């Protein structure tokens, strides 16, 4: 099988609008939470979120182009554009028939759907819809736009597995490169669900925090007082490339993707297995895929959403899989800072792992003041402050409603 390396990254997040700003915010423990500005949330149970700050599409797109793009697709274009430049692909000579796009979104164009339905219901019943309604809304359209922009004619599609979506995209890109079906991919995910429908829907599920009084610290993975995740938005992109292809063009290699895991809880629509059975299996599958022992892993960026059940089951799974080595690991949830980017979470969190490998710094789990007594206190959850540590191997977990579990393992590149 062919080796797969990371040669570029892009991030457009609630704590930073580019890769380096995103990373600096993480290692400095910056919270992206604020009161919602995208709509009047006065009557909603949750009035705060992790929004992309001061976003103006005119800074990135002309008016004609932005009309064709839902917000989630705009975020995709921005994050992918940074990754493309970061990888030096603008100057590179590569076969575009062998270059593809796999882009994820758990929800897709929910803002477009809401706006079009509102317009119809406000009218006299005559069907008047924008010709861009469907092309703006569907979850695969970001991949289509990226393919057109960069002329990539290789595999092109979307993956949808709720909050595991962008990790699924990364895994698919990895597998297709390994199988010699492509040489490089732009892959990742984006999400833009901070609107009345998104917030109202998650409120109805009792999935998101309602701690409006302490909103800046409401994303509290592993804390005894956590009451749900904080919804976020944005996008993350990776350039995955076959090693020899990257070497020939003189690309900078930031890490090697060495293993992937997939599993299902087969348990409940929204709740994780209480003993973390699906999480155990997916990490074991990733380790087997990578061909490394559990003791080789230095850092785990956990799913860690700050939901009452999810944090406990994931912590149990880590102890089961890693045994005594679990207490030698650094573990952190960067969702404590970015909020939960839903289908884009896996992409930005994979980037966090790669940057930890690059710089030897573990981003913290902020807002962790009182550990839930049901979570093993011997685990190093990197509370509140970044910790310096050489990271040779890092793992990222991402889980989704429906019981979808994904893990990816990155290793420091050694040639």
Active site residues: 163, 303, 340
Q: What is the DSSP letter of 274?
A: T
- Residues forming a β-bridge with 346: none
d(CA 184, CA 118): 41
What's the Rg (C-alpha) of the chain?
20
Question: 3-state DSSP call for residue 223?
Answer: strand
Helices then strands (H, E): number in the chain? Answer: 13, 14
Separation of alpha carbons 120 and 215, rounded Å: 35
| E strands, 291-363, in order | 299-301, 330-332, 361-362
CA neighbor of 101 nearest in space, from 138, 67, 146: 146
* Tokens coding 94: 């590569």
Residue 335 dihedral angles phi and psi, to the nearest 5°:
-65, -20
Q: Which residues of 60-87 are buried (b: 16+ CB within 10 A; e: fewer)?
A: bbeeeebeebbbbbbbbbbbbbbbbebb
> Helix H segments across 123-234?
133-137, 141-150, 165-178, 196-204
127-144 per-residue burial string, b: 16 or more CB within 10 A, e: under 16: eeeeebbebbbbbbbbbb
Query: Strand 184-191 relative to strand 99-104: parallel, antiparallel, unpaired?
Result: parallel
Is the Cα dihedral 122, 123, 125, 126 positive or negative? negative
The residues near 38 (Cβ < 8 Å, ≥ 6 apart) are 49, 51, 194, 195
């Amino acid at each position: 099988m062919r080796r797969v390396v990371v040669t570029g990254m892009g991030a457009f997040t609630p704590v930073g609008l580019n890769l380096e700003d995103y990373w600096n915010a993480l290692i400095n423990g910056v919270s992206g939470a604020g009161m919602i500005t995208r709509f009047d949330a006065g009557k909603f149970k949750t009035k705060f979120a992790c929004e992309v700050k001061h976003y103006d599409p005119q800074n990135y797109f002309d008016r004609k182009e932005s009309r064709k793009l839902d917000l989630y697709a705009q975020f995709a274009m921005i994050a992918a554009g940074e990754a493309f430049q970061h990888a030096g692909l603008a100057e590179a000579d590569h076969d575009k028939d062998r270059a593809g796009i796999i882009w994820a979104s758990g929800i897709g164009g929910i803002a477009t759907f809401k706006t079009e339905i509102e317009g119809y219901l406000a009218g006299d019943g005559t069907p008047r819809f924008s010709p861009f309604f469907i092309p703006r809304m569907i979850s695969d359209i970001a991949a289509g736009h990226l393919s057109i922009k960069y002329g990539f004619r290789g595999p092109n599609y979307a993956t949808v597995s709720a909050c595991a979506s962008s990790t699924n995209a990364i895994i698919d890109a990895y597998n297709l490169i390994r199988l010699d079906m492509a040489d490089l991919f732009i892959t990742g995910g984006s999400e833009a669900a901070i609107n009345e429908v998104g917030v109202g829907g998650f409120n109805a599920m009792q999935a998101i925090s309602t701690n409006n009084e302490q909103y800046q610290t409401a994303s509290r993975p592993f804390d005894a007082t956590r009451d749900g995740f904080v919804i976020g938005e944005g996008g993350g992109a990776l350039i995955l490339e076959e090693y020899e292809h990257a070497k020939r063009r003189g690309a900078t290699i930031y890490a090697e993707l060495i293993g992937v895991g997939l599993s299902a809880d087969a348990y409940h629509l929204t709740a994780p297995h209480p003993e973390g059975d699906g999480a155990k299996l997916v990490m074991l599958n990733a380790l087997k895929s990578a061909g490394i022992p559990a003791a080789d892993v230095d850092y785990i960026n956990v799913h860690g959403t700050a939901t009452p059940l999810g944090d406990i089951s994931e912590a149990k799974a880590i102890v089961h899989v890693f045994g005594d080595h679990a207490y030698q690991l650094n573990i952190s949830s960067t969702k404590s800072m970015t909020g939960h980017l839903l289908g884009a979470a896996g992409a930005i969190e994979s980037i966090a792992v790669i940057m930890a490998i690059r710089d030897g710094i573990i981003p913290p789990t902020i807002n962790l003041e009182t550990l839930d007594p049901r979570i093993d206190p011997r685990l190093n959850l990197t509370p509140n402050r970044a910790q310096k540590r050489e990271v040779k191997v890092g793992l990222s977990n991402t889980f989704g409603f429906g019981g979808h579990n994904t893990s990816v393992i990155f290793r420091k590149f050694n040639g």
